[in-house]
């Protein structure tokens, strides 16, 4: 057995995960975020708040999500693989875990308007769903390119009563949607910004991580009940990092459990044609936090490409940046073609159509677990309805 002090893997102090994190925002947002942080710190330990949160997770979201033994995939790979079925949540992805938590927080703070960014559209759908549930006005910001390639989710957002605002800025993807949403937030600081991934200024990374850790809490309990032991390894796709940290968090202190993140590699290590931030990026301040970012030669955030809208982002969670530098987790570049192959593979072998984002994690697991005869968990973060009608092979 390895003997390593792992306490630091979960250490969060003064807005930072070791050297990564912080709050780099205009003065107009400083007091707003400080109040948000103080309210969150109080509510995350409040019995009444947690009871309400878990009530909605059970009766509205449909938790716990199953841990499914993928027998056919296991035989194909030569290793025992379980899928954490976040695709079976209400709205079809892990995003709803966080939006329910934050909407309850917004309700406690008497918010009158919810704003959010979205790439793949799943966070937009989940936010619009939560806003509809609690009767709060909602605006969703989305890049035009993402709105086109995730047209089904655009229709769902509008059906749920939210206002969709698209932007032509930059590459018209997630990065640009975040920029526009942050600008709106600066101009309208009384709005509640319901950020969807584990990025942005403090306290968002710790908040999103807290509301998503239910994935790992359940998965750890489920695998112990099923196998009477922990897995040898766990896998998740990584864009901003919320579904991944949701699974990873509860296994961080289990040093014998290998942790692997699959990044949106696009066309590989080609400038502006990849979104594999931890594989090819460098530490920098970006959109309110200090973490890894894909940069151009002048040190500015660069354009990115991934077939998966939810991974098409040049930044990354500050906690994932720390996990990379500490060596606790390993992050890998998965190309568009590898993800497409895994998308078709899981569909044909298991009758489960994954989100193209989640297919990156399937692809990585297939590569690493080949003939290993081990036990692993893959976080199936979303379902692929939104991707079925896309001409993905042509992107």
User: Which positions are catalytic?
Assistant: 95, 117, 381
Strands 258-266 and 233-238: parallel
DSSP character at residue 92: S
User: Facing residues of 289 across strands?
Assistant: 286
User: Facing residues of 283 across strands?
Assistant: 292
Q: Helix or strand or coil: residue 6?
A: coil
- Helix axes 122-134 and 151-159, enclosed angle (nearest 10): 10
- Helix axes 174-187 and 27-43, enclosed angle (nearest 10): 100
User: What is the rounded CA–CA span in Å between residue 105 and residue 39?
Assistant: 8
Whole-Å CA distances, 292 to 54, 245, 262, 372: 33, 16, 15, 32
CB 67 within 8 A of CB 223: yes
Is cis: bond before 52, omega within 30 of 0? no
Among 218, 241, 234, CA closest to 378: 234
Helix (H) or strand (E) holding 261: strand 258-266
Is cis: bond before 102, omega within 30 of 0? no
Tokens of residue 173, six digits = 């993807």
| DSSP for 281-298, written as a single string | -EEEEETTEEEEE-B-TT
Side-chain-side CA neighbours of 172 within 13 Å: the count stands at 11
């Amino acid at each position: 057995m390895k003997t390593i002090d792992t306490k630091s893997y979960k250490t969060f102090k003064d807005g930072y995960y070791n050297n990564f994190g912080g709050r780099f925002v205009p003065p107009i947002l400083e007091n707003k975020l400080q109040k948000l942080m103080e309210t969150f710190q109080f509510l995350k330990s409040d019995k009444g708040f947690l009871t309400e949160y878990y009530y909605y997770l059970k009766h509205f979201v449909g938790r716990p999500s199953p841990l499914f033994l993928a027998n056919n995939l296991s035989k194909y790979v030569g290793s025992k693989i379980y899928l954490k079925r976040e695709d079976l949540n209400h709205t079809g992805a892990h995003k709803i875990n966080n939006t329910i938590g934050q909407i309850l927080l917004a309700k406690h703070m008497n918010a009158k308007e919810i704003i959010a960014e979205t790439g793949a559209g799943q966070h937009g759908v989940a936010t619009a769903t939560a806003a509809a549930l609690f009767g709060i006005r909602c605006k969703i910001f989305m890049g035009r390119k993402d709105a086109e390639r995730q047209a089904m989710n655009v229709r769902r957002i509008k059906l749920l009563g939210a206002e969709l605002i698209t932007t032509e800025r930059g590459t018209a993807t997630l990065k640009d949607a975040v920029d526009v949403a942050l600008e709106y937030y600066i101009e309208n600081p009384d709005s509640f910004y319901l950020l969807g991934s584990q990025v942005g200024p403090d306290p968002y990374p710790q908040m999103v991580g807290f509301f998503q850790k239910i994935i790992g809490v359940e998965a750890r309990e489920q695998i112990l009940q099923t196998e009477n032991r922990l897995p040898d390894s766990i896998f998740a796709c990584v864009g901003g990092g919320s579904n991944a940290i949701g699974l990873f968090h509860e296994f961080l202190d289990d040093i014998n459990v290998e942790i692997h993140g699959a990044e949106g590699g696009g066309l590989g290590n080609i400038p502006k044609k990849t979104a594999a931030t931890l594989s090819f990026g460098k530490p920098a301040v970006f959109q309110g936090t200090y973490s890894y970012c894909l940069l151009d030669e002048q040190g500015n955030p660069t354009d990115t490409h991934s077939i998966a809208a939810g991974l098409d982002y040049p930044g990354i969670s500050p906690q994932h940046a720390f996990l990379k530098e500490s060596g606790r987790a390993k992050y890998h570049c998965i190309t568009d073609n590898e993800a497409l192959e895994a998308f078709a593979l899981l569909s044909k072998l298991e009758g489960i159509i994954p989100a193209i984002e989640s297919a990156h994690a399937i692809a990585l697991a297939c590569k690493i677990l080949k003939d290993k005869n081990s036990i692993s968990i893959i976080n199936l973060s979303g379902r692929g309805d939104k991707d079925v009608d896309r001409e993905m092979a042509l992107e």
